Structure formats: C-alpha cells, structure tokens
Amino acid sequence: MSISTADFKNGKCISIDGKPNLIIEFQHVKPGKGGAFVRTKVRDVRTGRVNDLTFRAGEKFDEIRMETKEMQYLYNDGADYYFMDNTTYEQLAIPADIIGDTSVWLKENDVCLLQYAGDELVDVQPPMFVELEVVDTDPGFKGDTVQGGSKPATMETGAVVQVPMFINNGDVLKIDTRDGRYVTRV
C-alpha cells in the first residue's frame, strides 16, 4: 500500500530505499517561495539510527505494516533462541545475531515482545523488569548500606549489573532491562 507525505503520522512505518523506517516526527512546510516540503525525523527499524530527511510534498512511499507479538522465551541451544506463541503453541527459532545484547535479559519462561516490520523480525524486547539471581559478586560486609556505593555483580544470565554493597551471591534482584539498572532485592 502506498501513502503520500500528506498521510504521514507519528508511528507509521514506511519504506525508504528498501529499508523499513519509523516516522518519529514530521512537519509540513509551505515557504513563501517555491514548493511545499515535509521535514521528517525517521528511525531505521533495523539499526535504530535516527535520520532527518526532507521530502517534496505529495511524494509517495510504500507503507509497511508493523506488528508486535507476545511470545514466551523457552531456551537457547547456542546458535538459536526458541520462543513459543502462547495461543497457537507454535515454536519459533531466532538466530543469536538477531537477539544480540538482549540475550543477557532473557530468562526461561519470560514473555517477550517480538516486533515485525511486514514479515521481517526487527526487534526482540525482553520484559521491562526481570528477576535474576546473583551468581558472582564480592562479599558484602557488616555495616554496608544502600548509600555506601556500588559493586559489579554477575547475574545468572551473564549480565553484569552495578548493585549496592550489601548484595551477596544467591540474592535475587529485580533489574530494569531498559538500562540494566538494579531496582530492588526480591
């Protein structure tokens, strides 16, 4: 389906040079002299890179349907990560290179959001908060308090998180996956 610059809306996905781009913001400009144009800020869905582009008014683009699916993470075998659709019980294998750095936040049986541009998987979003066990950190000492600074802790998935000094091996922590920040001890 083709749309023109007059149909632009924030959040629409269009194809620019064969690549899916999400419209972040746009502005129609009608100068006193010359033709109208549209200033647009778009994010490349594959790379996450934001670009400022200008188009002539009325220019046409192919619209790409964006879809988000909730799927449960099952396990990985080193090369692929396996997810299951909870409604159809269909399993999907996703190569590790597509998962990328998100893999440190994936814990078995957690529900993740898989984002598709058309039929192409472009992003895997883990839950906003995950509960992970500390497997390696320096021991805490009596008198350590929340305000006393922080130390690195390796979690069960391999993620390294800065935690307060009183955290010990075996503690289960709530972690914000958006920025890898310690939230609280569970």
- 180: domain CATH number is 2.40.50.140
Q: How many domains does the chain have?
A: 3
pLDDT digits (tens, 9 = 90+) for 34-75: 889 999 999 888 787 899 999 998 899 999 988 889 999 999
E strand spans, the chain: 2-4, 13-16, 19-29, 37-44, 50-56, 60-64, 66-76, 80-85, 91-95, 111-117, 120-125, 129-137, 150-155, 160-164, 172-176, 181-185
pTM for the full model?
A: 0.73
pLDDT digits (tens, 9 = 90+) for 121-133: 888 889 999 999 9
Say whether both 38 and 22 belong to one domain. Answer: yes
Give the structural domain span for 150.
129-185
